[in-house]
Amino acid sequence: MSVYHQHIGGTTYTFDGLVELLAKATPLRSGDELAGCAAHSDAERAAAQWALAEVPLSAFLNDPVVPYETDEVTRLIIDSHDRGAFQAISHLTVGGLRDWLLGVAATEHAAVTLAAVARGLTPEMVAAVSKLMRNQDLIAVAKATEVTAGFRTTVGLPGTLATRLQPNYPTDDPRGIAAAVLDGLLLGCGDAVIGINPATDSPQATADLLYLLDEVRQRFDIPTQSCVLSHVTTTMGLIEAGAPVDLVFQSIAGTEGANSGFGVNISLLREANEAGRSLRRGTVGDNVMYLETGQGSALSAGAHLGVGGKPVDQQTLKTRAYAVARDLDPLLVNTVVGFIGPEYLYDGKQIIRAGLEDRFCGKLLGLPMGVDVCYTNHAEADQDDMDTLLTLLGAAGCAFVIAVPGADDVMLGYQSLAYHDALYVRKVLGLRPAPEFAAWLDRLGMMSTDGRVLPVEPLSSPLRALAS
């Protein structure tokens, strides 16, 4: 294990290994303070970032952050690393990678170049370089990277911003859910997925919701996919029972221990992926996994320790979850950026930074990355902060965002985006829905030639039927 030193202003700072160096170089966030791994001062953080910039990328292959012998996520990262793709950047340091990424992002063929090295990057390399980047750097490189996936709609195309329509209801009342679905569809939302967080993990309740969403989709010929976000084992059982499953959902994390806390491992997730694909319900693609992540999940599970028993910073662990996601070739991956609470991301500034980091890291690793732009009611944040993050994510080429009625999820008890927020950012930044969904809106007379969702008065015949 290497020891790193940095001299600044007559003071020598020492960092005992990559785990400590990565943590101390991380922009301030409350979760790292809670874990006891954050820098003690801005000067120490600057020293750590300076030292981190000089670390060769190859060091991350030879000095894992979480032990190879005891963690299957580490084994996945190392064993699946593409040495051929890495060759083009193998001579670089972390600071050199930052400069290279910004240089590539300014070129005409940036997307092709970045895609070519994606499998040569490990999550730790990507997490490390993100710690050296300003917000504008994260946005510029993420914008230059292109990642698409498809099921019934194509997610991640340049110039588009899709939405997850999230019609949660505290008691899973089908009338309340149907009303929220109608509300979202009328405002042009739902092209990434119509996805419900069920109030329980009951297989029967999950099946009832799946049949409800599938009936609505088929009756009105909506080109989208549905998902009820139950545990992966519940969904797999319903696939065997013949339920109309489009996407298979699961929350994932960046260590074996944290994934065990979610009741999953890599083998189970691969089995679920194959089960979902076996149904062949997609029309434009066969990406069937919907995976959700969040900074702080490993810490909250007590599964955040790395080499030498030292706490790993939450952003590095979060980025390691993307290795699990990448293995499954998903349709959708999103970070629920402010959902866990101020213990992990204290205020709007930390939430905004984390959202941009997560977006950058996921997309650079080759994932169709979206964000739940959100916060809990006890965080030092408000909807102005969410407006800022939404706008920055739109500029960064975010694949999709999550929207709920009135920006207030009354079932999960947190604040997200409203349906009309998606209309705002599409209009301001010239973005459109996924093309298959946009064509459906056009057929109903709900979309103008410039991509704006139009008011429909009186409602067209299909929507009158849906409203009834």
Residue 456 has pLDDT above 80, yes or no: no
Q: What is the pLDDT of residues 315-356, one digit of tens each?
A: 999 999 999 999 999 999 999 999 989 999 999 999 999 999
Percentage, residues of the chain above pLDDT 70: 97
Burial 135-149, CB ≥16 within 10 A → b, else e: bebbbbbbbbbebeb
Q: What is the pLDDT of residues 111-123, one digit of tens each?
A: 999 999 999 999 9
Sign, Cα dihedral of 157, 161, 167, 168: positive
Kindly state the average pLDDT of the residues 226-242: 98
Q: What share of the chain is helix, strand, coil (3-state, %, to 5)?
A: 50, 15, 40
pLDDT-derived band at 9 (thresholds 50, 70, 90) equals confident
Measured from the Cβ of residue 42, the count of other Cβ atoms closer than 10 Å reads 9
Q: If we measure between CA atoms, which residue out of 376, 372, 408 comes closest to residue 393?
A: 372
Kindly state the average pLDDT of the residues 218-237: 97
Distance CA 187, CA 425 (A): 13
Residue 457 has pLDDT above 80, yes or no: no
Kindly state the average pLDDT of the residues 196-208: 94
Q: What is the pLDDT of residues 77-86, one digit of tens each?
A: 999 999 999 9
What are the backbone dihedrals phi and psi of residue 404, each rounded to the nearest 5 degrees, phi first?
A: -130, 160
Kindly state the average pLDDT of the residues 357-386: 96
pLDDT at 462: 60
Look up tokens 């009309």; give the residue: 420
pLDDT-derived band at 452 (thresholds 50, 70, 90) equals confident
Distance CA 195, CA 178 (A): 12
pLDDT-derived band at 460 (thresholds 50, 70, 90) equals low
Distance CA 253, CA 250 (A): 10
What are the backbone dihedrals phi and psi of residue 320, each rounded to the nearest 5 degrees, phi first?
A: -65, -25
pTM for the full model? 0.95
CB 368 within 8 A of CB 331: yes
